[in-house]
Amino acid sequence: MGIDIAKVGAEPEEERDATTWSRRDFLSLAAWGGVLAFLSTVTVAFMRFMFPRVLFEPTPRFNAGRPDTFQPGTVDTRFIQSHRTWIVRYEDGSFFAMLAICTHLGCTPNWIPADRKYKCPCHGSGYYMDGFNYEGPAPRPMDRVKIALSPEGDLLVDRSILYSMKPGGDPDEQYPDSLLRA
């Protein structure tokens, strides 16, 4: 190597002013900046690419039918398969709709009528009829969703309106709005 190619055309090191950039520095930084800008743009675009505008998932709203088909003091499991939601009716006739999603890690608990409790098959969390967690690893009561009467008198459930329960509190007192008085 007779001539060091890297040094050809570059200014001598000691003559370079601390505040000026040589043409080589400028072009080098510009090129790397361009590469970085391209890569970061592509990364952001890819992140957006992974979130489609439309999801093909079950609709959050459904019609649960006439209120008089639900017996007071029971938990109705008709809409578990299709919408993963219990329609619960207290003895006093009021309704609420609760998501069948365990607050521990998201499995579907089962309503066990003989024990009057919901029991999660994954890690054994247990809940009372109102959704309050009393055993197992679940950290808080199960979440409820909006239930209302349509003008025709049908029960309408909207899973997109969520009553997210905090740990420890009585679910009925945390969200009185989640109850539908009939």
Partner 1 sequence: MFRRLKELKKNILESQVWRSMFRHDYADTPRNRTLQIMSNVWMHLHPPKIRRHAIRIRFTWCMGGITFLLFLVLTVTGVVLMFYYRPVAEYAYADMKYLQFDVPFGMLVRNMHRWAAHGMVLSVWLHMFRVFMTGSYKSPREFNWVIGVILLTLTLLLSFTGYLLPWDQLSIWAVTVGTNMARATPLLGHEGPFAQVAGVTPRYDARAFLLGGTIVGPPTLLRFYVLHCIFLPILASLLMIVHFWRIRKDGGISGPL
State the residues that interact with partner 1 by CB under 8 A.
Answer: 1, 4-6, 18-21, 25, 47, 50-52, 55-57, 105-107, 122
Nearest distance, CB of residue 18 and partner 1, angstroms? 5
73 dihedral zone (left: phi>0; alpha: psi -120 to 50; beta) = left
Q: Which is nearer to partner 1, 1 or 114 (CB)?
A: 1
Nearest-approach distance from CB 79 to partner 1, in angstroms: 16
Burial class (CB in 10 A: 0-12, 13-18, 19+), 54: exposed
Please provide residue 139's backbone torsions phi and psi, each rounded to the nearest 5 degrees.
Answer: -85, -15
Which residue, 122 or 182, has its beta carbon nearer to partner 1? Answer: 122
Instruction: Kindly state the tokens that stand for 95.
Output: 């309704």
Q: For partner 1, give the closer residue by CB, 70 or 85.
A: 85
CA distance 176 to 178: 5
Question: Residue 21 or 38: which CB sits closer to partner 1?
Answer: 21
Q: In this structure, are residues 62 and 83 in contact, taking their beta carbons and an 8 Å threshold? A: yes
- Least Å distance between CB 6 and partner 1? 5
3-state secondary structure of 137: coil
Quick one: how far is CA 38 from the chain centroid?
A: 32
- Least separation in angstroms between CB 143 and partner 1: 12
Q: Which is nearer to partner 1, 49 or 181 (CB)?
A: 49
Structure tokens at 27: 């072009």
Distance CA 6, CA 77 (A): 76
- Return the structure tokens found at 139: 């950290």
> Shortest Cβ distance from residue 13 to partner 1 (Å)?
11
